[in-house]
Amino acid sequence: MKNNRNIRLMYAIALLQGMVFYGPIATLYRQAAGVSVFHITLIESISLALALALEVPWGILADRIGYRRSMILCCGLYFVSKIVFWQADSFGGFLAERLMLSVVCAGLSGLDVSILYLSCPEEESHRVFGIYNNLGMAGLLAASAVYAVFVGENYRLAGLLTVFSYGAAALLALFLREVRSSQPRPAGHQLAEFKVLLGQLVRNPRLLFLVLGAAFLNEAHQTITTFLNQVQYTRAGLSASVIAVIYVVMTLLGLCGGFSARLTGWLGEKRTGAVLLALAAVACLTLTLTCGPVLSVAAILLLRVCHSLFTPLQTTLQNRQVRTADRATTLSLNALLMDLVAVFTNLVFGRAADFALPLAMGFGFALCATGLVLYLYSQRGSQRAD
């Protein structure tokens, strides 16, 4: 049954939590407080390890206490973490903020999309996911514009504005309505259910390959558009001002996820996913073979578009294959697998980039090409493929 109230509230929460006003200077913010780049990467590593450890337990807890209460807890802790970040002035302060963020990210993984999926008719879920993702990106764009025009070098003001935004999101979470009943069950029963779900994932190659294919595209996109792109731009001879303009364009292109449902309606689910993964592989191959400025920018922007259009599609496909009432637990298990893939691919990308940047881009091509094969297998025999 459609729950417009929940959908509107989740849209508003996504917009507000996208407003990270210190986003453009996140590293500079920490360095100004005396935290070195090495310490920043160390904090990130610790954060990822904790998020992995909490991924499935959070999903089990959400299915036990209800999605509304879990969302309130996550949004509340998210708000507190931004206060800690705003006041942090040492390694310990930023580590504490990141550890809180790990708890939040593990909690929200699978939870927010479960609330949305259960608040709308299945045939509308693809469009709803696209709008939800776009609003988070719109929040980031709005915050970046405010930073550029009004904040400037006042890093702490950027942190304070982010506190206000996340505080408003936490307040809105209080007005959500529950979309599933919370039935307390023994912890042993929960563990048994998790083992059953794990077994179902292993025995369901279509879902397993879909998750792996999506993970490969996610990691190629994340690493190349966040870290390696700046190195590629430098090799291409682009100036810092031009790189900044490209960043804005790339952020705007993240909004094209809203057209995912329309594209899928035109091509069909199977063809849409295949085309996007194939184009992503072409983009990575281009980056492997050239460092020319025009082709480099075009390839990175194409990779961004492919990922933005593919995300709502794979989210819908994952939700459709859930065959249990414990939806958040199942999706958390999927996210755990994707995070494990990220741990491996990050190490390979980093090592390859230290040796030669084209080698790292070539690894991105291999991931996308493999993801294409896995996706096609996951959609084999699907009645909604066309």
Confidence band for 246, pLDDT divided at 50, 70 and 90: confident
pLDDT at 293 over 60: yes
Phi, psi for residue 315 in degrees, rounded to 5 = -65, -45
Q: What does the DSSP 8-state code read for residue 359?
A: H
The predicted model gives 77-85 an average pLDDT of 96
Residue-range domains of the chain with CATH: 4-176 (1.20.1250.20), 197-378 (1.20.1250.20)
Question: Tell me, what's the pLDDT at 182?
Answer: 47
CA-based nearest residue to 273, from 232, 316, 223, 325: 316
Instruction: Name the least confident of 33-47, 186-200, 266-280, 349-363.
Output: 186-200
Q: Up-side HSE of residue 101: CA atoms within 13 Å toward CB?
A: 19
Residue 375 to residue 76: CA distance in whole angstroms: 37
Query: What's the whole-model pTM score?
Result: 0.67
pLDDT given for residue 198 in this prediction: 64
Position 188 pLDDT exceeds 60:
no
Task: For residues 219-242, give the mean pLDDT.
Answer: 80
Q: Return the higher-pLDDT residue of 317 and 72.
A: 72
What pLDDT, in 10s, does the model give residues 297-341?
A: 999 999 999 999 998 888 888 777 666 655 666 766 777 778 778
CB 1: neighbour CB atoms within 10 A?
7
CB 125 within 8 A of CB 339: no
19-34 tens-digit pLDDT: 988 876 676 677 788 8
Residue ranges with strand state E in 77-147: none
Residue 210 has pLDDT above 70, yes or no: yes
